[in-house]
Structure 1
């Protein structure tokens, strides 16, 4: 079994899509842990603020199967494909890490590069797994966050009850 870490983002009907994603992840992968939720500014385009978080679960599934399941969950939540890379999203789910694997496959690379570039990925990941070591950098998520340069990015923790989403 390996631990998978998934970034979650939404800036369209955010609470609805986060709750639905939480249920769908649990149905697909069993017990899921969630980070705190952050409201963050859109990066790369002018758009409404996002909700962002990180989910984690243990799995024996290979990365390809996890990525397929994430795309299916996004599609079930009205994700529109073929639009600009940086645009509004009903739901965005990305595989960040799968154990300590360093691999590339169709439509994914592990570890995902956004971990070290986007506060909306690194902060919730550091909250959920502060002692997790980045498989390429050899540094914990806590240490990566402590030296992270926000460089115009903003985020603020919000109240979000995952238990309500899974009830």
Structure 2
């Protein structure tokens, strides 16, 4: 079994779509470990605020199958095929880590946004503070401590996901 970490985000009915994404992930993969939820301003475009979180789970699926599964979940929840990267979205699922694997295909791992976006790094540091980034060689807690927190506005929010919380 491999441990994977996934970033979830939404700025269109975000609580609804995050919960729907979590329910699908739980149905497909089983037990989830979830970070707190954070609200952040849009990055790369002018739009409404996002809700973001990170989830960890275990899987036997290879990386390509995991990525295909995430794309299918996004499409089932209103994500438009070929949608622009910097645009509003119902549900965004990004594979951040697959064990300590470093690769370029079928996706880049570890995902670069871990080191550049507060809305990825902070929840990841909350969920796996002692886990070490396979390239940077630092724990996620240390990376968050060193992160320039003036770069992006981000704050924790309370979201009730029922039995998933």
Task: Please confirm whether the aligned pair reaches a TM-score higher than 0.5, indicating the same fold.
Answer: yes
When structure 1 is superposed on structure 2, of 110-119 and 79-88 the one drifting more is 79-88
Q: What CA distance in whole angstroms lies between the structure 1 residues aligned with 2:164 and 2:96?
A: 22
| TM-score normalised by length of structure 2 | 0.96
Cα shift readout 1:17-70 (whole Å, capped 9, x = no counterpart): 011001000011111111000000000000000000000001121111110110
- How far is the alpha carbon of 1:166 from its aligned partner? 3.8
1:92 corresponds to: 92
- Residues 60-96 of structure 1: CA deviation (Å, up to 9, x unaligned): 2111111011001100110013232200010000000
Contact 1:37 1:52 in 2 (8 A): yes
**Count of residues paired in the alignment:** 165
1:165–1:41 Cα change, 3 Å: farther
Q: Is 1:139 paired with 2:138?
A: yes
Note the aligned Cα RMSD (angstroms): 1.3
Q: Which runs of 5+ in 2 are unaligned?
A: none
The 2-side partners of 1:83 and 1:70 are apart by 15
**2:97 matched to 1:67?**
no
Q: Given that residues 20 and 165 in structure 1 are in contact (C-alpha distance below 8 angstroms), is that contact kept between their aligned partners in structure 2?
A: no
Deviations 1:99-146 (A, max 9, x none): 00001223x111000000000000000000000100111100000000
Tell me the residue number matched to 1:122: 121
Instruction: Give the CA deviation at 1:151.
Output: 4.2
What displacement does 1:161 show?
A: 2.8
Distance 2:10 2:163 in 1: 15
Matches within 5 A, 1:1-167: 1-106=1-106, 108-162=107-161, 164=162, 166=164
Runs of 4 or more consecutive aligned structure 1 residues displaced over 4 Å after TM superposition: none
